[in-house]
Structure 1
Amino acid sequence: MRKALWTAAGVGAAYLLRNKDSRQKLMDQFQTLKGKYLSDKTKTRTTNQPEV
């Protein structure tokens, strides 16, 4: 089972190394997810602060 997972990861990495458009799409998706995560984290911080 592990060998199949490592093979799939290797094939995916090789594909991304050879295909610049796919690599850019993947990086854009990570940036979008990071932005959503940080904005959600900021929202929870501001709403959970105790009132003084």
Structure 2
Amino acid sequence: MKKMAIAALGIGAAYLMRNKDARGKLMKQFESLADPLTSKKGSA
């Protein structure tokens, strides 16, 4: 099970390294996820 997870992670990383559009979409998702978290900390 652990080997399968590592293999999937490696395949996903290789895909992101080669596909610029997918990398950009993923970064936008992380930024939108982080925005509410950072705004809560800043207002406190």
Q: TM-score range by the shorter chain?
A: 0.7 to 0.9
- Counterpart CA distance in 2 for 1:26 and 1:36 is 17
Q: Give me the identity figure in percent.
A: 50
Across the two proteins, how many residue pairs are aligned to each other?
44
Paired residue for 1:7? 7
Alignment correspondent of 2:38 = 38
User: Structure 1 CA distance, aligned partners of 2:36 and 2:8?
Assistant: 28
Structure 1 ranges of 4+ moved more than 2 A? 40-43
Cα-Cα RMSD = 1.1
Please give the per-residue CA displacement for 1:2-46, whole angstroms capped at 9, x wherever unaligned: 100000000000000010000000001111111111123345x2x
The aligned counterpart of 2:24 is: 24
Structure 2 segments unaligned to the other structure (5+ residues): none
Aligned counterpart, 1:50: none
Structure of larger gyration radius: 1
Q: Any gaps of 5 or more consecutive residues in structure 1?
A: 46-52
| Structure 2 Cα separation of the partners of residues 36 and 15 of structure 1 | 28
